[in-house]
Chain A
Amino acid sequence: MVVETQVPPFLSWLLSDSGDGQSALTTFLFTALVLFGLATMVAFLVAAFRYGPGRAFSSIVRGLGGGIVDFVRMSPRRILALSWLAFREAFRRQIWVGLVVFLVILMFAGWFLDPSSDDPARLYLGNVLNWTTLLMLVMALYLSSLSLPADIKNRTIYTIVTKPVRSSEIILGRIVGFTAACTVLLVIMAGASYVFVSRALAHRHVVVVDDIVPVKQNRQVVRYDGKTKLPYGHQHHFTVPANSFAPGIELSEDAAGHLTVQQVTAAARAADVKPGDILTAINGATVIGLDTAEEQLAGAPGSNIQLTLSRGGASHEAKVTREATEVFTDIEKGHRHRVVVRWVDGKLQADIGPAEGMLVARVPIYGLLRFRDRQGDPKDPSTWKIRQKGISVGKLFGYRSYIEGNTLAAAVWTFDDLKADQYPQGLPLDASIRVYRGQRGRVDQGITGSLTVVNPAKPTIRSREIIFTAKEFTLDRIQIPQQLTDSHGKPLALFGDASQPNLPSLVTPDGRVEVWVRCVEPAQYFGMARADLYVRGADASYTMNFVKAFFEIWLQIVLVTSLAVLFSSFLSGPVAVLLTVTTILMGFSCSFIANLANSVIYREELKVIELVRQGAAQRGLYLTPDQTFAKAHDLRKDNVDGFRVYDEARLKTALRLELDQVDVLDRVWGGGPLEAFYRLITQRNLMIDLEMNWAIRTMQFLDKGLMHVMQYLLHVLPDFRRFSDTDYLANGYNIQGARVGQHAAVTLAFALAAFIGGYFIFRHREMAA
């Protein structure tokens, strides 16, 4: 699953230039102005057609004036009263059915969800969020698009419009009221989901005595290997070093360096150790600090240790037994458990804690990924551009690209804005690197790689290689320590050391650093994309993340409610429902429609690009867009087959939009709706070339026209999929606040537009009625 979109801070997104010469706010204002202008023009034309230009002009001016008055003089009290009406109507129309359905789904979710799946957290979270979204959108749609038309049809609307209320208040009241009703439902669903997911995923394993096995080396027990029982469809393993057991006392160190006993276990208490005692010596050796003391205390389970303690100034000896230690299990299905191993009656017992790391909100800080080829060249010699991709190993999914092992090929991540005080323990990296084997090699061993930290300003300052084994489909933690050495063994500091100003640092003063990853083994390949290696910031709160995900669902509800109220202000109930459903469906499949439109509109051009590139590739050449265009032009002049029908302007656009770079999995085959239907009924698959005749040509021409319309529609459609942060929550990534802010702003803009539009239309209708 790919989750990597990073958004700029909210205010800079809203106010400053985002690269295309406009900030979000100016785009909003510009769009609003255009829409306003268009609406006014259409209204004028309609009115002029009916009453003549003079009257049309005056009625438009009057309408606008009235509108402004209506907006300015809106009364919160009346809006509230109308909202309350809508709220009550919502419950009168059995909105709670949605809730019941949801609860029934949760009750039977165990039938459909497999807790022993590889990533249960993702499965459960994904499911509750998707069901909530689906049900809430259906409820919002049902409520808001049928209400106004029903009132108008039953003439109950007159009981409201005859009261001293403004049309704007009626429209806004409904949007607010229905949204509020849905909010109540959503909050209950969110609560139920939270409990459901937490309870479904919570589990504790059991370890029986036989499952902890001592491992000996040279007849000495060096460690204990343990494993848990299996009832939750998975098993954890853990390793306990034999000399890690400590007596049951908890120490703290004060400013003067005294080690005070804080808590004791029953066994230690029996040996006359009490909270408040000060530890002075262990086995006769004076204690120096907490770290050394802990080292001295550690030893084999069941062994005894002599403590010298001072209580109220008097010193006394206590003989305690090393009885417990604490380790973590391995990570299985995305989580691990804390294990407390105790020595009881000559045997080891393990208590396994709750699952940790299953429901998290990781904060990844992504870098910029660039590749170097096998000669170590950062630029592509044919285009003189920095390489953004490695090589392909022939997978359909082109998201990741690969580097060859034992060559100079490398993947280089550049991280920005790292601050020393945020990473006191060094730089924590999370990595997940794919492996492609060019030869079988040793099946029982992973492929090794190396990781080097480089100063981007002075590339000669680079750390010694850190060797690691690639791990796929799981996050492998690589911790870059504060103190490193270079390949000659000279010390380096990660962030620079204030006490040793001459020590070269790997992170530049402005917080930039490069991480180079290479594959070490010949004929093996590493595959990666930008999101596969990142600096792991401090985790955010999972609960907050959960709230944010549901807030985004709420935003979708607001969107649907506003749109449905807008549509219902001028359409009959069923048509309004249909139009809203279409909008939602199209909104959810924006990217598919965009891909479809491109595939249909640029069909011949994409084919031409492919032909030219294939021809060049056979001669080992890579063509830049300009070269591709020129080559196609030449071939067209020579009247070569397949080059006669394309359009040069469109080819230029296709090359500019880099449509040839679109992932194969995202390309849409089989043509537009008409052609696809034709293929369906004649049972021709998507890849077959149709025999060209006038009927097919007409069909393709009409398809292209339709797709152009779709492309324009895409500009005004809300992209619902972008609003959905299910993937973030389900995959355990923090939803950035700025992202939520952006979505809230976009929702507000749509809702405002829908409200204003709805108001004018509704007022006009009312007058006509």
Chain B
Amino acid sequence: MNNQQSFQRKIIYFSLIGVLLLPLYMLSLPATMRKDGDKWSEVEGGILAQIRKQHNLSQTNLGEVDPTSATMKLCSFGLQGVAENRLWTTAIDAKEREDWTTFDASLQQITNLQPHCVKVWQFQSHNVAYNISCEFDDYHDRYHHVIKGLKLLERGIRYNDHSPHLVRDMALFTAFKIGKSDEADLFRPMYRQDEDFHGTDRMALTRFQGRPRHLRDNWQVAKWWYQWCDRLLDEKIASYMSLNSAVVHSDAPHMQIQFAKSLEDDGHFGDAALGEWAQAGREWQNLGLRRLVTSQGTPIHLEEFNSQRQQTLALLVELDRLASDEPGLRDKLIAARRATLTDQERAALDMDPTKRDQKQVNLAEMANSKMRISPRDVAMAMKPAHRDEALRLADRLITAQARLDLIAKYRDIVNYDYWRIRCDVERLPETMAARKAIYEGNKAFAASDLNLALKRYNEGIEAWKHVTEAYPPLLQEKTMVMELHQIITKYRRILAQDNRKLPKPFALEAVQQSFHKFVKTGELPADRGEEE
């Protein structure tokens, strides 16, 4: 090869490189900002930058950009995966060996390397707040670790400020780890008085900045976070993905309910508590008026249940009216269907449902599904003169019924009716009197004042009797029944101190019956003390 050939080759190589650079340039030109006069405008950048933006994958879209994290990723020279793996195993090993300093250090590096992986924050903050905190015996240490978990979540939210999952976890941990754990009685006041935690706004310069300083109660803080989750979804910053809209939006009102309840648990029975219950009622009703996106795609409102039911009923009446000049049409249809069943199916269907074996249960189910008569079936069976109109009606009825079912399902998911009644009931002076009497009874019992305890309990039980009689649906709900059953249990213990038993007839007999019903269906655990 002579010199000239070599030179020619070089020229060819360089021009090829130049040509190849062109598509590369188009692909990976970064998105930047340009100043036009006084205004900054965004320049879209290359194809990759556009796709990144479209799918919310660029760093600035995900949340805060951190130099530490970027440096670490750069320094790992593409061995990021290996480094992460190693760090995770180190963290797990350190946790087993109770070497918390190493655990913390590994965790710090893991979060630096994977700042935009939401699952990492979810997993590790739960790990710290729930699993590691339990490794300590001193409740101060436990609290310290719960707070550490919360702070970890806050960092995670800074990096991923569009993630409803992290915001929801933040609310969940604040609500239940502080407010419902074994140490709740100790944690709640500690949390309220934690100047270190509340004193500085660690979410400054994010959209979550400026939580009011007076919000110190864990339920209120949790509510604040849940409301932020609502906003993220309402303002389309985040999408529902796998979240159920009814559940998501019921959480904030639930926190208000818990807050109102906690006031009473702490012995505040004045206007403040009443006001919080009223607020809870309003918020719960707002949930009913909120437009909820459903998994079927049709938006619904929980409060439209009654109007939807009326509409459905009206359609049903209309359809029946059309069929009124053909009496027994439905029965005829059923008889015809019955004729198509096999002998076995018919036998299974006719026998006592409680005596069916598994095979017969299946057969009966099959038979039932064959015998089901839809409005369309009825319409199709009508005389040709009515058929057209009947079919139209039947279609409307089916749609209306489906919508009614959907609303009912969503109401059921959040137990809408119960909580609405509950908010109403709790605002009654009788209920507050009942709760106050029981609270004072407990206090008297703890102070060994048996007479006063009994007196207060008698008053409380009597008041509860009135409340439950006035609002029977209360006893359809197991949480309420369980709560009342606990009051009865305590009452029984107080009576036992005086060598007495529950009076007969007992004022809260209905509660007892309801409790046993739930125990029978396995929804509540049996009370062994009661059996004795």
Contact = CB atoms under 8 A, between A and B. Distances in A.
Interface of A: 1-2, 108, 111-114, 117-119, 122-123, 126, 230, 235, 395-397, 399, 434-435, 437, 440, 443-444, 446-447, 470-473, 665
Interface in B12-46: none
Contacts of A126: 101, 105
B71 A447 contact: no
Contacts of B183: 443
Contacts of B235: none
Interface in B96-112: 96-102, 104-105, 108-109, 112
A473 B100 contact: yes
19 contacts: A1-B99, A1-B101, A111-B71, A112-B72, A112-B109, A113-B105, A114-B104, A114-B108, A117-B105, A118-B101, A122-B101, A230-B196, A235-B196, A395-B96, A440-B182, A443-B183, A446-B137, A473-B141, A665-B96
A443 B101 contact: no
Contact of B101 (A108, A123, A437): A123
Contacts of A395: 96
Contact of B141 (A230, A470, A472, A665): A472
B239 interface: no
Interface in B379-416: none
Residue in A397, A437, A443 with the greatest tally of chain B CB atoms within 10 Å: A443
Contacts of B71: 108, 111
B97 A123 contact: no
A111 B182 contact: no
A435 B196 contact: no
Given A117-B104, A443-B186, A112 B139 contact: no
B67 interface: yes
Contacts of A399: 97
B138 interface: yes
A396 B67 CA distance: 38
B195 interface: yes
Interface string B102-124: 10110011001000000000000
B137 A119 contact: no
A472 B137 contact: yes
Given A112-B109, A230-B196, A472 B136 contact: yes
B199 interface: yes
B362 interface: no
A235 B199 CA distance: 13
Given A111-B71, A119-B101, A397-B96, 9 more contacts: A112-B109, A112-B112, A113-B105, A123-B105, A230-B195, A235-B196, A399-B97, A447-B137, A473-B100
B469 interface: no
B104 A473 contact: no
B138 A472 contact: yes
B67 A111 contact: yes
Nearest to A437: B137
Contacts of B99: 1
Residue in A118, A126, A470 with the greatest tally of chain B CB atoms within 10 Å: A118
B68 interface: yes
A213 to B, nearest CB: 13
A interface majority secondary structure: loop
A267 B182 CA distance: 54
Interface in B155-196: 182-183, 186, 195-196
B195 A435 contact: no
Contacts of B67: 111
B137 A112 contact: no
A665 B93 contact: yes
B101 A665 contact: no
Contacts of B93: 665
A498 B396 CA distance: 107
Interface string B194-213: 01100100000000000000
Contact of B96 (A117, A396, A434): A396
A235 B104 CA distance: 19
Nearest to B99: A1
A397 B137 contact: no
B104 A443 contact: no
Closest 9 CB pairs of A and B: A435-B137, A111-B68, A119-B101, A396-B96, A122-B101, A397-B97, A397-B96, A1-B99, A443-B183
Interface of B: 67-68, 71-72, 93, 96-102, 104-105, 108-109, 112, 136-139, 141, 182-183, 186, 195-196, 199
A444 B68 contact: no
Contacts, number: 68
A446 B142 CA distance: 13
A299 B97 CA distance: 49
B91 to A, nearest CB: 13
A440 B139 CA distance: 12
A128 to B, nearest CB: 13
Given A112-B109, A117-B101, A123-B105, A473 B182 contact: no
Given A444-B186, A471-B138, A472-B137, A112 B196 contact: no
Nearest to B98: A397
A473 B132 CA distance: 13
Nearest to A435: B137
Contacts of B98: 397, 473
A665 B71 CA distance: 33
Contacts of A434: 137
Given A108-B71, A112-B109, A235-B196, A470 B137 contact: yes
A696 B8 CA distance: 56
A230 B195 CA distance: 9
Nearest to B199: A230
A731 to B, nearest CB: 9
A399 B93 CA distance: 13
A2 B67 CA distance: 35
Residue in B104, B137, B139 with the greatest tally of chain A CB atoms within 10 Å: B137
Residue in B72, B102, B105, B112 with the greatest tally of chain A CB atoms within 10 Å: B105
A399 B98 CA distance: 11
Contacts of A122: 101
A304 B136 CA distance: 48
Contact of A118 (B100, B109, B138): B100
A117 B105 CA distance: 8
B464 to A, nearest CB: 29
Contacts of A235: 196
A259 B186 CA distance: 51
Given A1-B99, A396-B96, A443 B108 contact: no
Contacts of A473: 98, 100, 136, 141
Nearest to A395: B96
A36 B353 CA distance: 93
Contact of A446 (B97, B102, B138, B186): B138
A446 B186 CA distance: 14
Contacts of B196: 230, 235
A238 to B, nearest CB: 16
A331 to B, nearest CB: 13
Contacts of B100: 118-119, 473
B188 to A, nearest CB: 13
Contacts of B141: 472-473
A446 B68 CA distance: 40
A510 B452 CA distance: 66
A668 to B, nearest CB: 12
Contacts of B109: 112
Nearest to B151: A116
A1 B102 CA distance: 9
B46 to A, nearest CB: 31
A667 to B, nearest CB: 12
A470 B71 CA distance: 43
A677 to B, nearest CB: 16
B182 A444 contact: no
B138 A665 contact: no
Given A235-B196, A443-B139, A112 B101 contact: no
Nearest to A471: B138
A259 to B, nearest CB: 44
A168 B227 CA distance: 79
B136 A112 contact: no
